[in-house]
Structure 1
Amino acid sequence: MSDGLITGMAGALDGVKVRRPRVLSPLREHLRDTMWFAPTAGLVGIMILWLLAAELDTQLVDALRADEDYDTIKDLIGIADDAKTVISTIGSAMMTFIGVVFSISLVAVQMASGQFSPRVVRLYVRSRITKATLTVFMATFLFSLLTLTSFDSEQDPRLVTTVPLVESIVAMVMVLLSLLLFVAYVNGTVRMMRIGFVIDRIARESFRVAAKQPTDLPVGTEQLGPETARITHHGRAGVLRDVNIARTVRAARRQGVVLRLIPRIGDFVVPGTPVFTVHGGAAPSRRALGYTVSVGVERTFHQDLAFGLRQLSDIALRALSPAVNDPTTAVQALDRIVQFLAAIAPHPLGALGHRDRRGEMRLVQSVPDWTALVDLGFAEIRGCAVGNPQVTRRMVAGLDDLLLLAPAERREPLLRHRELLAQAVERSVPEAADRAFALLPDRQGIG
């Protein structure tokens, strides 16, 4: 393995900017997982823009009337009458475009769910280009309707109160923006239907999550002192999506205690389940800890270190199923699994600590340790890879690369998976030459 490749893998996280947890960061991530927020915000914004444009049109006519420049007003009325037909066409055409965008999105989501994994559907829901296109199309439709209400039936320049000239220009600009966005949307949707691009997106999201992990050394529960209280979950049952770290650290600092998060991000919690243990004093009030724990129906990338590996493993497993039988896709997923594990290998895992502004430990969060991540990345794929030499060869090469990158204390699970893979091939492949071929390291599988 070349030194350049080792350096590139080990430094994969260095290119991602690490940011301190912000109070609104969970809310921002939750809004990105919805399809209603962006269009709603766009409709509100376009109504404000229309009010401003209508006011400019009114002021323009008032200024011309004050100068008694009725000839210019008459010319503007003629221009506006010509634009009225165009604006009416825009209004009807935008609804057709909205239907096309919605239909393409549904087809793309259905194909991704059936061919890749149901877990990757959220990539389409979070797609910025899809939301931007839908938002601009709906905003253009609403703006054209509002502009039509501004046309005055009065033709006498002395009696006209407003001429929607600025509004018509803005409507034309929005149509041009809609067309450009539609081209970008089609291009982006076609890319999202390609498995290589989907796998790359999952890997990049995983790196962002890893870069946000605290860099403190693992904290053992024995270092926290005796447990003084427990805080249980009283909300709805569901998957623990994320924790508002900034708010939790602030509540612990005000109370002068250390909080330890019991479930891991991605665990399923039910009402009455303990979510925090308190060390060093009384528990913060329930009001102080309000909205610190977010529970939903599915996992998200926001703070879930293992979710990317879960998706990559699912994609590989579906590709190796008899119904699909696409080992090349499984190799592509293994490429990213190896890349992620290589990048996370030197970083602290297990129980990680979050400190307040004074540097005191306030929150201890459990994250998957190295063994759990390696098992998640390789165990299920290894069980289905036997009989596909392309996949076994890529897995052996990936494990060998990770053995070079991982610290000495983290090599045991890698050696275990390599040995189990060799044993599985030994049991399942009768010919010695085929066994040797299947276990020959190759980063492209069979090219």
Structure 2
Amino acid sequence: MLTLTTIVLTVLTLGVQLAMQQFSPRIVRALLGDRASQLSHGLFAGTFLFCMIAVAQVDDTAEPGQQVPSVTVASGYVLLFASLIVLVAYVHHAGQSLRVAGLIDVVGDNLQSEIDRSFPARTTPRVEAGVVTADESGVVVMLDHPLLIDQARRSEDRLEMLVAVGDFVPRGAPVVRGGGGRGGGGGGALDARAIRRGIVLDNERSHVGDAAYGLRKLVDIAERSIASSPYQDPATAVQSIDRLHDAMRQLCVRPLSESMHRDAAGTVRLITRELSWDGYVAVAFDELVDLGSSSPLVARRLLAALDDLVETAPPERRAALEERRTRLRDAAAGEGRRLHPDVQGLGSGPDLLAREGSDGPT
């Protein structure tokens, strides 16, 4: 138990140091004041001290069967079992709290508590009729469409989502409007509590129901690999673009999510905010086209991806891709370079491959 307690404290110290270096040295107090961590450390240390005290109760001179106090030993086992359970929970809690979203939540929750304490609300904010507001803040990670459609049907209304999956919602902000977007209910009163259950909030975005978030992560990896001077790693950026290319190639020929959701009778009951094809293209390529044009490796790989997508996508979806391709070529031309598409970034472009009967590149 003493070794376990020491390891846990060491890991916590290292985690706090990394958080200080990457985010802010002023976040240390909030991390060290975490009640869950303090209770875990107290349980580990308390179990060790209990066992040390229990050892003194062992009497080698007593009669057989009475040398070891059974209740004390059983209590030690119970504490040990509890420590193992808390250890697993603590590791999960520590990992979650040291994430970006976890650290921001620690500071944000402390700030919100201080605002509520120092500036207590004296009036209730006025809410428009037929509008449901969020009772807590968070990022919209999922919408329960069947539940929301059922609630709209029960109230003989039509719900309009005022937020999209991936949006951050402040506490008290409007999230749903009834009456088909005209304000006010079209039928019975809306069940605000039930509607809130259909809008799942968390402290960060999730892949479930949010395909754009996966694109966002791949773009982040590629951007860091390009811009992380002096340790630039364009090969990693090329790998990220490989997966972006694959994802967008699958997406470009598939129907996107509908914003109109109907009940069994065919009546529109829910209107959601969905990302268009141009929106997916912007998420996947806008930042990389602007930043990646400075790296020949990344620019060639981007051009190969865009060329393939233009050929694969239906005619109505090509304009957004062609616009990014033109921007990429213009940026390279402005730097005095002529781009060639290359799936490897630098290794399989038409300017590098040998022609039939030739011993070298053309």
Q: Please name the residue that 1:445 is paired with.
A: 345
2:102 is the alignment partner of 1:102: no
Q: Please name the residue that 1:276 is paired with.
A: 177
Asked if the contact 1:230–1:274 (Cα under 8 Å) also holds between the matched residues in 2, the reply is no
**Once the two structures are aligned, what percentage of the paired residues are identical?**
29
2:160 is the alignment partner of 1:260: yes
Alignment equivalent of 1:285, drawn from 185, 191, 194: 191
- Give the CA deviation at 1:278: 3.6
Q: Please name the residue that 1:348 is paired with.
A: 255
- Give the CA deviation at 1:446: 1.3
Asked if the contact 2:149–2:261 (Cα under 8 Å) also holds between the matched residues in 1, the reply is yes
1:389-432, Cα deviation, whole Å (9 max, x unpaired): 11111001111232344334322211221122122222331xxx
Letter in 1 for 2:335: S
Aligned residues: 285
Alignment equivalent of 1:424, drawn from 327, 331, 343: 331
Alignment equivalent of 2:213, drawn from 290, 294, 307: 307
Asked if the contact 1:264–1:367 (Cα under 8 Å) also holds between the matched residues in 2, the reply is yes
Q: Please name the residue that 1:93 is paired with.
A: 3
User: 1:101/1:250 Cα in 2 relative to 1: closer, same or farther (>3 Å)?
Assistant: farther
The equivalences for 1:26-425 within 5 A come to 90=1, 92-106=2-16, 153=57, 155=59, 156-157=62-63, 162=70, 230-233=130-133, 235=135, 239-245=139-145, 247-269=147-169, 271=172, 273=174, 275-279=176-180, 281-293=187-199, 298-321=204-227, 323-324=229-230, 325-352=232-259, 362-425=269-332
Q: In structure 1, what is the Cα distance between the partners aligned to 2:226 and 2:270?
A: 41
Letter in 2 for 1:267: D
SS at match of 1:94: helix
SS at match of 2:210: coil
Work out which structure has the larger RCO, using CA pairs closer than 8 Å and 6 or more positions apart in sequence.
1
- Give the CA deviation at 1:374: 0.6
Q: In structure 2, what is the Cα distance between the partners aligned to 1:138 and 1:341?
A: 51
SS at match of 2:286: helix
SS at match of 1:287: helix
- Give the CA deviation at 1:167: 7.6
Q: In structure 2, what is the Cα distance between the partners aligned to 1:352 and 1:296?
A: 23
1:267-315, Cα deviation, whole Å (9 max, x unpaired): 3445454533444634512233244445566544444332232233233
Q: In structure 2, what is the Cα distance between the partners aligned to 1:175 and 1:269?
A: 37
User: 1:161/1:236 Cα in 2 relative to 1: closer, same or farther (>3 Å)?
Assistant: closer
1:303-330, Cα deviation, whole Å (9 max, x unpaired): 4332232233233333333745433332
* TM-score after normalising by structure 1: 0.50
Q: In structure 2, what is the Cα distance between the partners aligned to 1:351 and 1:145?
A: 61
RMSD: 4.5
1:80-139, Cα deviation, whole Å (9 max, x unpaired): xxxxxxxxxx3x11111102332444566678x68xxx9xxxxxxxxxxxxxxxx99998
User: 1:402/1:387 Cα in 2 relative to 1: closer, same or farther (>3 Å)?
Assistant: same
Q: In structure 1, what is the Cα distance between the partners aligned to 2:192 and 2:266?
A: 25
Structure showing the higher helix proportion among its residues = 1
User: 1:308/1:150 Cα in 2 relative to 1: closer, same or farther (>3 Å)?
Assistant: same
1:21-68, Cα deviation, whole Å (9 max, x unpaired): xxxxxxxxxxxxxxxxxxxxxxxxxxxxxxxxxxxxxxxxxxxxxxxx
- Give the CA deviation at 1:444: 1.7
Asked if the contact 2:157–2:188 (Cα under 8 Å) also holds between the matched residues in 1, the reply is yes
SS at match of 1:348: coil
1:136-157, Cα deviation, whole Å (9 max, x unpaired): 9998766656666766826334
Asked if the contact 2:40–2:86 (Cα under 8 Å) also holds between the matched residues in 1, the reply is yes
SS at match of 1:317: helix
Asked if the contact 1:150–1:163 (Cα under 8 Å) also holds between the matched residues in 2, the reply is no
- Give the CA deviation at 1:345: 2.6
* TM-score after normalising by structure 2: 0.60
Letter in 1 for 2:148: T
Letter in 1 for 2:219: S
Letter in 2 for 1:276: R
Q: In structure 2, what is the Cα distance between the partners aligned to 1:263 and 1:314?
A: 24
